[in-house]
Homo-oligomer: A and B are copies of this chain.
């Protein structure tokens, strides 16, 4: 009778011993002597490998070598699941059959040696998922993405796919990538001598989206509570450990929510996500804590256990001005806070996540709701230790005239956003939302230092490999 294949995760958790099992995966190590060979097999289902014990009478080392049972080889192992004699594992497989699907030449396989740098692994992003580090990061990334959907689904939100190719520079949030099918050279020109995008695929100039928020508002004004989770793009020449040209954003938008509701949601959501990772990814988090960031587990637990500190921008400026610390950039009411200021508030002053609200209108986007004082808007930024801004959001301006006024002041052309204005013309209602950069979240939860290491195939200036 044929045995069904089991995952390594299932076998390591199994209480049912002394049965025949079949496992398929990749060899992580092979060692041993002339009596017995030990083969560690990993199949990606968990960070742990299962130990396969091969009696050297049946499987002499020379034979295993000749067949390619070495680090990196894909194998199928049949055998008996037994209690383990060794340390660090409760079960192991006594092999009865070892099949090699594909070897990995020990002289050319790039992952042969241990201890590669993260920089080197970035160059072989097609193989780095096979390492413990990137296996852990990618499993955590999956868990967090699933938790996002789970949270919103459980709370009555609807997932909306907002467009990737867009005809309007929604927020003016940054440089955009042009999307076109016009000839590379000598594109058609109009009478004014400009490129005639009327002849392009969409009949107009198009770019890659920088945010799905404005379209998300459309959906919220019909379905009530919605969220987006999709790729967004910035064509900025930023070669930093915090920026990507292509990244994933989560943007919930809620009709009938004010700034207070928005803050409550953001805090509850972030705590849910971190708690989910702590519960579901213990092994991976333990590995990352041991190898990359000794404070990681402590920091994650701290976020779950403590209320976020909420204060206005104006209050924050007062704190920063009376701080004993010297800052590189001066702080003054009306200027945007720099990373050093945000970190001071989070890491030194309050020693916990902070939500700053009611920023000066001049440093925030046109769609944010004006406060009664006419100087500030109902913005909120959630600041996290080590990350800085992880969420940016606001209550939106629902009053047509005030919105038009703000658009005029900030040179946002009405004709591009006629549909956005319609939302205020017909059945307008208070509403709010925010954006969470998914990679910033993964960065925080994994404790990794470079954003290029928390997305499978990072896109940044001069790099679009794979």
A contacts, CB < 8 Å to B: 5, 7, 9, 24-27, 43-45, 72-74, 76, 101-105, 108-111, 125-127, 129-130, 134-135, 138-139, 141-142, 145-146, 149, 153, 156, 158-167, 175, 177-181, 184-185, 187, 189, 194-195, 201-204, 206, 208, 215, 218-219, 221-225, 230-231, 233, 235, 237, 245-246, 248, 255-256, 398, 419-420, 422-430, 455-457, 459, 461-466
Complex-state Cα separation, A142 to B424, whole angstroms: 25
Complex-state Cα separation, A156 to B142, whole angstroms: 11
A68 CB, nearest partner CB in chain B, Å: 9
Please name 13 pairs of A and B residues whose Cβ atoms are closer than 8 Å in the assembled complex, sorted by A.
A26-B427, A102-B429, A108-B425, A111-B426, A130-B427, A142-B160, A161-B456, A165-B208, A165-B464, A166-B464, A204-B464, A218-B466, A419-B466
Complex-state Cα separation, A45 to B254, whole angstroms: 12
Are B5 and A256 in contact (CB-based, < 8 A)?
Answer: yes
- Set B101, B109, B184, B456: member contacting A195, Cβ < 8 A: B184
A209 CB, nearest partner CB in chain B, Å: 10
Q: Pick from A156, A177, A222, A422 the residue with the most CB of B within 10 Å.
A: A222
A134 CB, nearest partner CB in chain B, Å: 8
> Assuming the A-B contacts A9-B156, A74-B429, are A457 and B130 also in contact, with contact meaning beta carbons closer than 8 angstroms in the complex?
no
The number of times this chain is found in the oligomer is: 2
Are B185 and A218 in contact (CB-based, < 8 A)?
Answer: no
Are B177 and A201 in contact (CB-based, < 8 A)?
Answer: yes
> Assuming the A-B contacts A180-B178, A429-B101, A461-B201, are A165 and B245 also in contact, with contact meaning beta carbons closer than 8 angstroms in the complex?
yes
Are A215 and B463 in contact (CB-based, < 8 A)?
Answer: no
Are A102 and B398 in contact (CB-based, < 8 A)?
Answer: yes
> Assuming the A-B contacts A163-B466, A164-B246, A181-B235, are A126 and B455 also in contact, with contact meaning beta carbons closer than 8 angstroms in the complex?
no
Are A142 and B165 in contact (CB-based, < 8 A)?
Answer: no
Complex-state Cα separation, A440 to B429, whole angstroms: 34
Are A45 and B102 in contact (CB-based, < 8 A)?
Answer: no
Complex-state Cα separation, A134 to B420, whole angstroms: 18
- Set B25, B177, B204: member contacting A180, Cβ < 8 A: B177
Are A246 and B457 in contact (CB-based, < 8 A)?
Answer: no
CB neighbours (8 Å) of A72 from chain B are: 426-427
CB neighbours (8 Å) of A162 from chain B are: 456-457
- Set B110, B126, B224: member contacting A44, Cβ < 8 A: B224
Complex-state Cα separation, A4 to B390, whole angstroms: 29
Are A161 and B248 in contact (CB-based, < 8 A)?
Answer: yes
CB neighbours (8 Å) of A153 from chain B are: 142, 146
Complex-state Cα separation, A221 to B219, whole angstroms: 38
CB neighbours (8 Å) of A222 from chain B are: 26, 44, 127, 129-130, 134-135, 138
Complex-state Cα separation, A224 to B429, whole angstroms: 47
CB neighbours (8 Å) of A218 from chain B are: 125-126, 129, 456, 466
Q: Pick from A111, A230, A429 the residue with the most CB of B within 10 Å.
A: A429
The chain B residue sitting closest to A398, CB to CB, is B102
Are B187 and A185 in contact (CB-based, < 8 A)?
Answer: yes
CB neighbours (8 Å) of A141 from chain B are: 159, 161
Are A202 and B457 in contact (CB-based, < 8 A)?
Answer: no
Are A427 and B103 in contact (CB-based, < 8 A)?
Answer: yes
